[in-house]
Amino acid sequence: RAPAVVIMACSENLPPLPDAVANLKDEGNGFFRAGDYLKAAGAYTKAIKAAGPELTAKPEFASIFSNRSASFLKLNKVTQSLADAETCVLLRPDWEKSHFRKALALEEKGHDAEALLAYQAALATTTGSGNPEIGLKIKRLAKKKNSKPVPFHFPKTKPPPKAKGGNTGAGVGVGGVSSQTLVAPGPVGELKWLTCVTSPREPVATRVAAANAVGGWLAEHLDTHLKKTPGESEWFFENRSVVAFLDKGLFDVVLGTVTHTVVSIINFEQRDTDGNPDAASDAAASADLAGALTGVLHNLLHPSLRAWQTRKQHHALLGAFEQVLRMEGSPLNDEKGTPVRVDDATKQFTALSAKILTNQGALQVLCGHDALARARLQLLRSLTQRDRSEGDTEDVNNRVQESARALVVLKRCRYANGGNSNDGDTTNNDADEKGIPSPAWEPVLDALLTDAGADEVRDEVRKTIEQHALLAGAFPKFGFEGSVGI
């Protein structure tokens, strides 16, 4: 989602909107003020459809497109937000807010130069000249343009603490330890639970029971590991059974189901307003499933919160890699459809990425489930800050992008040679004798430097942000307010 936006009042002397359209606009404004941006966008869309193409081509309808642009921006639907903003500019080119909405969307897309021009156009309007917020936006973009790149620090890697009484083995493996030192497996996660959870053909009660089975498996492992002192023993993500179940796609399967279920709940609630007698019971059943799965994800993230600070070099390594992914030559800075440049900045990005990832110890640490969980946790925290308008907007948005990019790229590296994931087949030629994937970075970086490959990763980053934004909202909804440090 984008910088904080406010629906501003329009006092110009324009013809009034038809009553039915005005009522839908007011309804959308109410949803927006309540923070329900999806319903707000829906109400504005209904207003536009109710008016028809002939009426919506008139200047007085610019305010509805402006408000829907603001809603789309809050939902991270930046392309739709920009399209509505450009419609505003066509309908009312002399209106400050038309250009302001366009500038916000362009800035979120990373088109700072075009955003600066749009802010300047807003400032040039009659009302815009007296708006101090526009001046601040222009000043900040100019400062960003002239800022120097952040210096990079590449920490050396070392294996985490050895398990008490365990075998040391040789070499560094998943999560920074060799496969020989992964601790005793304990209870085994069953693929049938994930299959059942994701199956819409199964009754919701059966899917909830499968989610609870996953929760029970997880509780047994947590009961063992949370009794140990962080930093003085093996930790949660070094357990063979945990690693194996995560490599079957545990987190992504559950997250995808939560996302789908939350959207279903919203649809059920909307259907209820249309008089559907089953909508309330459908929404309640879906809420039971979403609540159970949200609890599973909360408990999967908790070990990272507890033990990560005992591995400061891992933390520094992840931070350094996140900085590389946002440097000037990174293809991920550009929107989908932008060709990958072949210039000195891109070459520097490639060289610095290789500098980190060619170190096998660093690659294993970054591709371990501990680092992946930490990237998820950082993403959730930043999204929560953004939703609450806490901290510096630009800094928070940067951290959202950094964490999401690192999560996507490192997952791709972990499974570049196979061994994943959602189909539960962990047998492949490049996994070790325990079925653990063998990470590789070359094919991932090679693909990222192609136009099609860059677009694929950009799409995945966008989807990752959207899914985790829904999860961040689901935590308090299902009783996890303040969970995992959020």
| Beta-sheet strands, E only, within 408-461 | none
Coil, strand, or helix at residue 398? helix
pLDDT band of 78, cuts 50, 70, 90: confident
User: Which of the residue ranges 245-249, 267-271, 315-319, 389-393 would you say has the lowest mean pLDDT?
Assistant: 267-271
CB 318 within 8 A of CB 374: yes
Q: Which two tokens stand for residue 233?
A: 């023993």
Distance in angstroms (rounded) separating the CA atoms of residues 184 and 220: 13
Burial pattern 77-90, b for ≥16 Cβ within 10 A else e, equals: bbebbbbbbbbbbe
Per-residue model confidence (pLDDT) at position 46: 93
Q: What is the DSSP letter of 334?
A: S
Per-residue model confidence (pLDDT) at position 171: 37
CB 303 within 8 A of CB 225: yes
- In tens, the pLDDT along 9-36 reads 344 578 889 999 999 999 999 999 988 8
∠ CA 109-73-480, rounded to 5°: 115
Instruction: Give this prediction's pTM.
Output: 0.62
CB 175 within 8 A of CB 161: no
CA-to-CA dists, residue 413 to 26, 108, 328, angstroms: 48, 27, 22
Task: Provide CB contacts within 8 A for 404, sequence distance 6+.
Answer: 379, 461, 464, 465, 468
Is the pLDDT at 140 greater than 50, yes or no?
Answer: yes
| DSSP secondary structure of 144-175 | HHHPPPPP---------PPPTT----SS--GG
CA-to-CA dists, residue 341 to 106, 109, 305, 306, 376, angstroms: 20, 17, 38, 41, 29
User: Which of the residue ranges 96-100, 129-133, 165-169 would you say has the lowest mean pLDDT?
Assistant: 165-169
Beta bridge partners, 239, equal 183
Is the pLDDT at 204 greater than 70, yes or no?
Answer: yes
Per-residue model confidence (pLDDT) at position 476: 85
Name the amino acid, one letter, at 245. Answer: F
Per-residue model confidence (pLDDT) at position 209: 92
Nearest in space to 73 (alpha carbons), one of 11, 7, 127: 7
Is the pLDDT at 40 greater than 80, yes or no?
Answer: yes
Distance in angstroms (rounded) separating the CA atoms of residues 108 and 451: 21
Distance in angstroms (rounded) separating the CA atoms of residues 407 and 466: 14
Q: What is the DSSP letter of 244?
A: H
- In tens, the pLDDT along 283-298 reads 677 788 888 888 888 8
Rg (CA), the chain: 24
Nearest in space to 188 (alpha carbons), one of 258, 235, 239, 236: 239
Arithmetic mean of pLDDT, 352-357:
88
Highest mean pLDDT among 294-308, 330-344, 398-412: 398-412
Per-residue model confidence (pLDDT) at position 481: 66
Is the pLDDT at 95 greater than 50, yes or no?
Answer: yes
CB 373 within 8 A of CB 303: yes
Nearest in space to 100 (alpha carbons), one of 120, 75, 71: 120
User: Which of the residue ranges 9-18, 82-91, 469-478 would you say has the lowest mean pLDDT?
Assistant: 9-18
Per-residue model confidence (pLDDT) at position 175: 38
Highest mean pLDDT among 130-134, 176-180, 264-268: 130-134
∠ CA 335-120-77, rounded to 5°: 30
